Amino acid sequence: MTKPTIWVTTSLLIIYFIFTSGCVYWVTGCQETEKFITPYSYALSGKETGIVGVTTKADMDCVKWLLEESDKTIEIAGDTNVIFLVGGYFESYYIDEDRFVPIESFDKEDRCYLFLNEWNMEHGKYLLSSDVGLREQYKFWIGNGIIFYECFNSKNIERVEVRSIPITEVYRSGNARIYEK
């Protein structure tokens, strides 16, 4: 290979690496995870964006409570990362995964646990997987025993609607919480 060919090849590989490693996403402070605008990195932006569930001791305490103390007849709602976390442990304990419901259909259940991990509580958001590697973020807030949360309007998918549900806190560890509806 000639020197110009090596230089061009090396330059293209460096540019490719910078964009695909998530460096540009991290440096620009991009927070878009619903579509691929700038490639993100699990390692560089996983905790900030919630793309990958970063499990804390408090989250694990909540999983332990769900496994050992909760009413096994009540379904569990959570965002994508919570369902992956709890589902992994429930598989090892041979507990029925039909117990899980997506957080956006939480209001349709008669009784249900809502597990909000530390990331959810610290950011006031929950995440839904929209496609491979993509996450949609929705806001929620809790006040006076009521959770208000955003979700898609089923009649008009372009609009986000806010729903409210009365809840009671049944378990807390650190900043992670389990509520019952």
Question: What was the pLDDT predicted at 65?
Answer: 95
Amino acid at 13: L
Those residues with Cβ within 8 angstroms of residue 144's Cβ, 6 or more apart along the chain or in another chain: none
Is residue 44 over pLDDT 70? no
Question: What was the pLDDT predicted at 60?
Answer: 94
φ/ψ of residue 141, rounded to 5: -150, 150
The pTM score is 0.77
Sequence length of the chain is 181
CB 79 within 8 A of CB 128: yes
* Domain spans of the chain, in order of start: 3-49, 57-180
Average pLDDT, the chain: 81
Q: What's the whole-number mean pLDDT along residues 156-177?
A: 86
Amino acid at 28: T
Nearest-angstrom CA–CA distance, 27 and 58: 30
Q: What's the whole-number mean pLDDT along residues 152-167?
A: 73
Amino acid at 111: R
- The residue among 80, 85, 136 whose CA lies nearest residue 103 is 80
Nearest-angstrom CA–CA distance, 145 and 167: 5
Please calculate the CA angle 63-68-73 and round it to the nearest 5 degrees.
Answer: 95
pLDDT band at 154 (very low <50, low <70, confident <90, very high): low
Nearest-angstrom CA–CA distance, 27 and 83: 30
